[in-house]
Amino acid sequence: MTAGVFFDLDRTLMAGSSGFHWARAARRAGLTTRRQLATDAFENVRFRLHGSTDEATREVQKRVGAFLKDRRVAELERLNPMVLAGVLPRLYPKMLETAYEHQDAGRPVFIVTAASQGTAEMLAHVLFFDGAAGSKLEERDGVYTGRFDGPFCYGEGKPVRMRELAEEKGVDLADSWAYSDSHSDLPMLRAVGHPVAVNPDTELTRVAREEGWDVMTFETLGRRLKIMAAFLAFTAVGGASHRAVRSRV
């Protein structure tokens, strides 16, 4: 058996959420509303800043199921080019470099994500990864039922899908690596011998520090927003001071 490498997708391999780019593609195809897209855009920014929560993920799972119910599989698959056009520019070069270094060392690399199995496989194929595990969507006669086929690939569901991949590919999880950003992926990270926290949220930062895990940080949106807020505050104070001086003159 060989060691493998498992990468979470959202906020680990890429900035933000792949789901937002599905929402944007669906809006362009007339499958959803402008209001819903605005909500998804806001949630994507919040996700980039703070990571995922169980409550938000359950809500997304419920909404995705309702959206997919009775839709043709082909209708959604035709959105793939637009989704890729949104996702590919947001991949972290450092993470791709890390993945390919593992591959060059003889370790197969995989995507493990709460996104659909189709999305996971599509990205794995384009990125020349060795496989992928996502949330399988139930379909009948070419139509989605709105239900998931098997465990949702989130939280405790990720190690389930990882073990399936490991068995299929001959991978020893105890000797493998896993990369993720969120405390919700602690089951994924603890399923391997070499966990790595990437752009970790507050809770994962604490756990990584306590357990001596490697940490990689390069998400810059929060820092850029803080700089912008400081600049706007400085400008506002400066403008108020200038007006006060003028009024006294």
Are residues 176 and 109 in contact, defined by beta-carbon separation less than 8 angstroms? no
Query: What tokens appear for 158 in the block?
Result: 């990720």
Residues forming a β-bridge with 197 = 180, 215
Reply yes or no on whether 8 is catalytic. yes
Dist CA 151 CA 134 (whole Å): 9
Are residues 14 and 99 in contact, defined by beta-carbon separation less than 8 angstroms? no
The one catalytic residue among 10, 40, 130, 185: 10
Are residues 143 and 73 in contact, defined by beta-carbon separation less than 8 angstroms? yes
DSSP 70: T
Residue type, 216: M
Dist CA 145 CA 140 (whole Å): 7
Query: What tokens appear for 109 in the block?
Result: 């690399």
The answer for 131, left when phi > 0, alpha when psi is -120 to 50, beta otherwise, is left
Reply yes or no on whether 172 is catalytic. no
- List of residues 6+ apart from 203 with CB closer than 8 A: 183
Cα dihedral across residues 166, 81, 46, 223: positive or negative: positive
Catalytic residue annotation: 8, 10
